Amino acid sequence: MTQPEPAIRDALLAAVPSLRAFAISLCGQVDRADDLVQDTLLRALSHIDRFERGTNLNAWLFTILRNLFHSEYRKRRREVEDPDGSYAGRLRVQPEQGSRLDFEDFRAALAKLPPDQREALLLVGASGFSYEEAANICGCAVGTIKSRVNRARSRLAALLAVEGVEDLGPDQMTRAALQATG
């Protein structure tokens, strides 16, 4: 492996918090997420010559992480593929370090989304990527990303309303819908 230039190393290190947040949200397990981030950094360093200078380093790193996650996902399908079982359970016990706000209901709802929708929503709605960047990261059409994000939001709204998250409860939802349309 080539030794990283200090600038590259600093940029990689700076990307770690975002990569971790994405990885934790994707796989629901801090330990696994950290392994995923570490593998991403190693992969990035060993393929750094493929990174086009001047393009978005974070988008490139997210692409690597996402691809690693999916190849691992396929390997571990049996363990991982239970949309409303263990993923949600693992996600629930996840943040140890003084998470001040209570996001448990939201995390549980997020865990119930199909992986492709969860991923699209995280990229666009949380990580701040454009639809185009998210499409590149996921290797699909922009329209597909938009559709997945829309469906993810609809599904979340329904799940959260059903589960009665305080500020997303059914009453507020209905009121918000009524107000917004006059």
Per CB under 8 A, residues contacting another protein are 1, 3-6, 9-10, 12-13, 16-18, 20-21, 24-25, 34, 37-38, 41-42, 45, 95, 97, 99-101, 103, 106-107, 110, 121-122, 125-127, 141, 143-144, 146-148, 150-151, 153-158, 160-162, 165, 167-168, 170, 172-174, 176-181
Query: Phi and psi dihedrals of 177, rounded to 5?
Result: -65, -40
Rounded to the nearest whole angstrom, what is the least distance from the CB of residue 138 to another protein in the complex?
A: 13
77 or 174: CB nearest another protein: 174
Rounded to the nearest whole angstrom, what is the least distance from the CB of residue 99 to another protein in the complex?
A: 6
16 or 73: CB nearest another protein: 16
Instruction: Name residue, tokens 């059903």.
Output: 162
Pairwise CA distance, residues 13 & 5, whole Å:
12
The encoded tokens of residue 177 equal: 């819908």
Rounded to the nearest whole angstrom, what is the least distance from the CB of residue 27 to another protein in the complex?
A: 12
Instruction: Name residue, tokens 């706000």.
Output: 101
93 or 177: CB nearest another protein: 177
Closest listed residue to residue 41, CA positions, set 72, 10, 75? 10
Rounded to the nearest whole angstrom, what is the least distance from the CB of residue 18 to another protein in the complex?
A: 6
Are 131 and 145 in contact by the 8 Å Cβ rule? The answer is: yes
The encoded tokens of residue 102 equal: 């209570």
Name 11's Cβ contacts closer than 8 Å, sequence gap at least 6.
57
77 or 152: CB nearest another protein: 152
The encoded tokens of residue 147 equal: 């559709």
Rounded to the nearest whole angstrom, what is the least distance from the CB of residue 78 to another protein in the complex?
A: 27
